[in-house]
Structure 1
């Protein structure tokens, strides 16, 4: 394991210690968690020359756990709910393919399942990961219900557990809070320190604490910057498409027999070749541009997301209620194409659109796998 699980846990010593108290050491020693330490958080973006601090999926998962423990204290969660939330934070990404999102479209074409499906198999032992090799036995020994845990991760949990799902899936959620700040740090961009208090209870509801709103507004602006400046780097979009094509023709369902050992090393030569071909490895982003329509037959469609705060939606004295999170913290989507840079005049980008009112609805309806890009 490159870097080893022990050094990664050492970087999160306080979180790891608390996790051992909550979930037990055997679960933390699982080969599935060790594997996450060998899967890059940003995938092929780590090969870009502007990348200065690479993280693994295990780093990210432990970061999400750290936020979850903080929020658990803020909300005075019961010991049982805190254990469930901590386990969901720890395992929400357990099924990621090597290099995370970078080659997932190729794996999905070849294997018929995205990483969320593989995560379910590992947690519940109900698919191509046999029960004995899954985390179900370890979770049950830790007195955790794998099916309830999965429902929290995926957002199907019944009351009162649905509130725990919201902490992982709402527009402002623990997963994205760590992921965006981590992305900024990875590329040496100006990030931010999250506020000491994020959520609070207002009766039976979880709300955003009023004191956190200014910082969360800055976080939403940071998310917009990270999508524009890092996640949508043109050379990486081209690299991911090239890598996905290579992966789709190279792997089959046999990988699931040894998935606990299936990590970034499995894609090393393929990723290096794709990065060189796309110019990612030298940061050759000026070779490409975004156009509002297809210019050449091999142009790549990309859905670019923009994030903005609607300050007309204000918190009350009690905080910002859950129904208003998506009204204040909004996003729009652009359908554009990555094309080779030419001497022709740059085409204007279209305005923010949705599936429903897109002027080029046919193009939207036929987006290939990977065009949406990752959700960090």
Structure 2
């Protein structure tokens, strides 16, 4: 199903006013993969709006599988459509810098937009639009936020945006795989079901979910954690920190217009181009995750003996399936997802293959991120 078809079906379910909102239009001007769009292996660039349509479409399909009542399905699909509405320009690529600059993550900004609190006044927010469409804004945000005050009947739906196997990641990783030509398998039509009254993955869909979890590991290893991307994200964050002012009222006052083109104008096209990705760096740098190398870095040993000094530190996740966690007759209940679909965090060090590359390329050495700061790979 293409984007136009997805939009048409969402309009049928949610009404045109929400889909025509300037807040959603803004997501169409924000890159899904940010710095990775410029990588030589990128087949096409997606937008954050295309991803949001995809997640909402998966939510619509899950609503059918779970036999949700129509009004509950509308609420759930609206939450999935809006789960990323607060993203900054270039999505995750510069988010650490924006979060530090404005004191708010994209999740915080999403709350402002959906509920009309914080710096976004009610009349500019999505609250009136949702109310006009007979969709409860507070319940919508509670699903996105997995709020403690969430009505028990909505908890399983919130888990479909937070659990290890969730709609956001299912769509996002398949989008990365498609855009970077990674081998992927088609998602089954019916993934989720009820298992003894609990949300579950159907037994028939479990092999596909195992393959998806392996694809997620592959996507992070082969795309998200490319050395050139790690370096580009760091350069971009430094540029945002150097060029933007946290007291600049135009960012928050015109947040619905703060998109990729607006960021390019503010940073300067030439400066932004220099900061963005250079695929050639994948041959000049590598990400080391050996515990032995971590001990060398931690012990502050000199590098005279040939050890290469790290340029950046990256917290890396690896994903693996534990097939010993078996499903029941109907499927795998939610309580078992985190034990079958596991991940571990490891420390990675971006290291130059050449002794003359000991600082962040493209920046003054004084601006290079501290090695005491570990940058997390984004979660889609």
TM bin, normalised by shorter chain, reads 0.7 to 0.9
Task: Give 2:282's aligned residue.
Answer: 285
| Aligned with residue 95 of structure 1, among 86, 96, 101 | 86
Answering whether residue 347 of structure 2 is matched by residue 331 of structure 1, we say no
Is the Cα–Cα contact under 8 Å of residues 310 and 352 in structure 2 kept in the other structure? no
Task: Answer yes or no: is the 8 Å Cα contact 1:168–1:175 preserved in 2.
Answer: yes
Measure, in 1, the Cα distance between the counterparts of 2:334 and 2:308.
Answer: 44
Q: Does 1:204 align with 2:197?
A: yes
In 2: Cα distance, 1:246 partner to 1:117 partner: 22
Aligned to 2:95: 104
Query: What is the distance in 2 between the residues matched to 1:28 and 1:241?
Result: 34
Work out whether 1:374 is the aligned partner of 2:371: no
Partner of 2:54: 63
CA positional deviation for 1:270: 5.5
Alignment of 1:293-332 (within 5 A): 293=294, 294=297, 299-332=311-344
TM-score by length of 1: 0.87
Contact 1:47-1:275 within 8 A present in 2 as well: no
RMSD: 2.1
- Aligned mates of 1:224, 1:72 — CA distance in 2: 28
- What is the DSSP-based 3-state SS (H/G/I as helix, E as strand, rest coil) of the residue aligned with 1:308? strand
* 5+ long unaligned stretches in structure 2: 298-306, 357-369
Runs of 4+ in 1 over 3 A off after TM superposition: 269-278, 291-298
Range with bigger deviation, 335-344 or 178-187: 335-344
Q: Show the 5 A alignment for 1:135-146.
A: 135-146=126-137
Query: For structure 1, which segment, 12-21 or 161-170, has the greater mean C-alpha deviation from structure 2 after superposition?
Result: 12-21
How far 1:19 moved relative to its partner?
1.7
Matches of 2:193 and 2:161, distance apart in 1? 15
Counterpart CA distance in 2 for 1:256 and 1:135 is 16
On the 8 A contact 2:164/2:337 being kept in 1, the answer is: yes
- Give the deviation of 1:298 after TM superposition: 6.9
Aligned partners of 2:187 and 2:341: how far apart in 1?
Answer: 16
Residues 120-154 of structure 1 show CA distances to partners (whole Å, capped at 9, x for unaligned) of: 00001111111111111101111112111111001
CA distance in 2, matches of 1:309, 1:330: 6
Mean Cα displacement is larger for which, 245-254 or 158-167? 245-254
| Residues 1:13 and 2:9 are matched in the alignment | no
Per-residue Cα deviation, 1:283-338 (whole angstroms, up to 9, x for no partner) = 32111122343477772110111000000001011110101000000001111111
Say yes or no: does 1:158 pair with 2:160. Answer: no
**1:74–1:200 contact (8 Å) kept in structure 2:** yes
Q: What corresponds to 1:351 in structure 2?
A: none
> What SS is found at the alignment partner of 2:376?
coil
Structure 1 gap segments, 5+ residues each: 1-9, 345-362
Deviations 1:244-276 (A, max 9, x none): 111123222520100111111123365764564
TM-score (norm 2): 0.86
Q: Whole-Å Cα distance in 2 between the matches of residues 75 and 183 of structure 1?
A: 27
User: 2:270 & 2:280 partners in 1: Cα distance?
Assistant: 14
2:214 is matched with which residue?
A: 221
- Quote the offset at 1:192 in angstroms: 1.7
Q: Determine the C-alpha separation between the residues in 1 that align with 2:102 and 2:60.
A: 35
Contact preservation (8 Å) 2:98, 2:240: yes
